[in-house]
Chains A and B, each alone.
Chain A
Amino acid sequence: MSPDPMHDQMSITRRHFFGRSAAGLGGLALAAMLPRPALAGPDPAALARMLGPHFAPRAKRIIYLFQSGGPSQVDLFDYKPRLNKEHGQQLPDSVRHGQRLTGMSANQSSIPLAGSPFKFRQWGGSGAWVSELLPRTASIADELCIVRSMWTEAINHDPAITFFQTGSQIAGRPSMGAWLSYGLGSDNDNLPAFVVLVSAGQGGQPLYARLWGSGFLDSRYQGVQFRSGKEPVLYLSSPDGVCGSGRRAMLDKLADLNRLQFERELDPEIESRIAQYELAYRMQTSVPDVTDLAAEPDEVFELYGDDARKPGTYAANCLLARRLAERGVRFIQLYHQGWDQHGNLAGAIRGQCQETDQASAALVTDLKRRGLLDDTLVVWGGEFGRTSYCQGKLSPDEFGRDHHPRCFTMWMAGGGVKPGLTYGHTDDYGYNLADESGAPINPTKDHDTPGAVHVHDLQATMLHLLGIDHERLNYLYQGRRFRLTDVHGHVKRELLA
């Protein structure tokens, strides 16, 4: 039986153990441990087969524009004139079929349909339906692959966002960026492979660092959050009174000290510690360079919008994402909170769109003109959608929508997805996924449901675009092989260019 490539970390240790008795610690060169530590195991070929890429990738990196809170698809992308016609009438039981609602609207005596107050029209040569709330996004409709038939199992924020990021509703698994960093390594030794940018001051549903954690994977794969302001990465710069050469000399001795500790303990996390100190040292130069937007010309700020001049805004983060992509960062995860419109939807969603529409579209446009869109996959979407019925009281100028996991819309651009495609259907009530005729379909994650895209299907497709077979990239932990897609997920080939 061939050695199990999944025992990579322990086999480093095993090799080290035998190496110590023969040639001593010198055999373990620091440089060899840095880029692809898993390949240091006894069977590099087996490991390479398991890690990526498994086939030619279409994209080298992902920029994920996470719209946290659950944007209302029926007010943005999924045009449902029937809701306007039957505005105020009850959602028919024949449509709902007794499906669960959240605790927030399950006890409402009435669940009246709420038509969107926003005007829709078709855009571009592809004729994609987009509402007036997203004029800039609409103007690049022909670049977009709009998926109207997303569905998830989670109905509340935290399990839903955790599901999208880690493939499990329960916290603790590695985030998608960590999986990609583990599977594909880094294209830039001076920056983390997985960078996280959160719009400042948004409020809304909370985000936690575990969403970009590495779970049971080696800790060097976790996302690094860049903040706005003077210190993008906390505790990165040297304190006053420590010069570059002094810090370098100190780090050399620290690495030596840690190697001695590794010799005692044989814990692979000590090697990660050494690697991360070295990366942090290089980031003392690379981070100020990438986060300084001063050299960007005025026309770039015009493209992304004036907000891009204000550090920490979504627009500034979109521009920063482009700069990170240019430098080969593998996975750039943005978050913009505030899409959770249980009430006051009409006013609040307008504000959300003003904060995000121009910059999201600008990012795609900017990547394209720089030739980066071909190998950069941009993904836009939230953790679930919103109900077509009204939460709370439906009044002429006030309404809200509850969480809706059964159908919602996301879009992707670049990176090997089909541009100008609107994929999937929902029924006339915007409640269930449907086939082309509008008849409801009942998707399952157990097999590939044509027209429906489960969260695991999206994950499998995103990995596929980066040259990874989602069934092969796995990690043995506590006696079980784990994958981002658990035991599910189907690559949706209809979405591929």
Chain B
Amino acid sequence: MLAQHALPASNSDQARIADMFRRLAGRSPNDREAALLLDLLAEQRALYAQQPDEAAKLLGVGEAPPDDSRDKPELAALTIVAQTIMNSDAAVWQR
């Protein structure tokens, strides 16, 4: 859902990543973090472009139905980026 939210085509990759990061970590990513996540997005995009079926499977996980008008590999790659941010320590607020 987060990735879907961030996907609108008018946004650049940088803007999408910054948007998701801010929502999860409560701050903007610094340059190194942003660069890392851009690399990750490129990697995952290439991976899911070759495996569109896998992208559809990933988007089938969870209760919210994916928006079928979106490009599935693109949305899947952005989903992985969202997961990564969510699992990063920057998104942990209490321990």
CB interface residues, A 252-296, toward B, < 8 Å: 253-254, 256-258, 260-262, 265, 267, 269-270, 273, 277
Supposing A254-B88, A261-B90, A269-B95 touch, asked if A241 and B40 sit within 8 A by C-beta, the answer is no
Supposing A253-B40, A260-B30 touch, asked if A240 and B58 sit within 8 A by C-beta, the answer is yes
- Give chain B's interface residue range (CB within 8 Å of chain A): 20 to 34
Kindly state whether residue B59 has any CB partner on chain A within 8 Å: yes
Kindly state whether residue B49 has any CB partner on chain A within 8 Å: no
- Interchain CB contact (< 8 A) of A254 among B51, B61, B84: B84
Interface pair B87/A254, CB less than 8 Å apart: yes
Interface pair A249/B58, CB less than 8 Å apart: no
Kindly state whether residue B64 has any CB partner on chain A within 8 Å: no
- Interchain CB contact (< 8 A) of A241 among B39, B58, B89, B92: B58
* Chain A contacts for B51, CB-based, 8 A: 243
- Interchain CB contact (< 8 A) of A250 among B30, B60, B84: B84
* Chain B contacts for A246, CB-based, 8 A: 44, 47, 80
Kindly state whether residue B3 has any CB partner on chain A within 8 Å: no
- Contacts between chains A and B (CB distance < 8 A), count: 69
Interface pair B57/A240, CB less than 8 Å apart: yes
Per the bound structure, the CA–CA distance linking A257 and B87 in Å amounts to 10
* B54: nearest chain-A partner, CB-CB: A241
* Chain B contacts for A267, CB-based, 8 A: 89
* Chain B contacts for A254, CB-based, 8 A: 84, 87-88
* B86: nearest chain-A partner, CB-CB: A254
Main secondary structure of the interface of A (DSSP, over half): helix
Supposing A246-B44, A246-B80 touch, asked if A253 and B58 sit within 8 A by C-beta, the answer is no
Interface pair B61/A261, CB less than 8 Å apart: no
Per the bound structure, the CA–CA distance linking A241 and B51 in Å amounts to 9
- Give chain A's interface residue range (CB within 8 Å of chain B): 20 to 34
* Chain A contacts for B11, CB-based, 8 A: none
- Interchain CB contact (< 8 A) of B60 among A241, A269, A270: A241
* Chain B contacts for A21, CB-based, 8 A: none
Kindly state whether residue A239 has any CB partner on chain B within 8 Å: yes
CB interface residues, B 73-95, toward A, < 8 Å: 76, 80, 83-85, 87-90, 92, 95
Q: How far is the CB of A213 from chain B (nearest CB, A)?
A: 14
* Chain A contacts for B6, CB-based, 8 A: none
Kindly state whether residue B67 has any CB partner on chain A within 8 Å: no
Interface pair B43/A249, CB less than 8 Å apart: yes
Interface pair A261/B89, CB less than 8 Å apart: yes
Kindly state whether residue A2 has any CB partner on chain B within 8 Å: no
Per the bound structure, the CA–CA distance linking A261 and B44 in Å amounts to 22
Kindly state whether residue B71 has any CB partner on chain A within 8 Å: no
Supposing A258-B88, A260-B32, A261-B90 touch, asked if A253 and B37 sit within 8 A by C-beta, the answer is yes
Per the bound structure, the CA–CA distance linking A384 and B56 in Å amounts to 55
Kindly state whether residue B20 has any CB partner on chain A within 8 Å: no
- Interchain CB contact (< 8 A) of A257 among B44, B47, B88: B88
- 8 residue pairs, one from A and one from B, having the closest CB atoms: A241-B58, A241-B57, A253-B40, A240-B57, A261-B89, A257-B88, A241-B54, A239-B61
7 further contact pairs, Cβ within 8 A, besides A242-B54, A242-B80? A241-B54, A241-B61, A246-B80, A249-B40, A250-B40, A269-B95, A270-B89
- Chain B contacts to A: CB under 8 angstroms: 30, 32-33, 36-37, 39-40, 43-44, 47, 51, 54-61, 76, 80, 83-85, 87-90, 92, 95
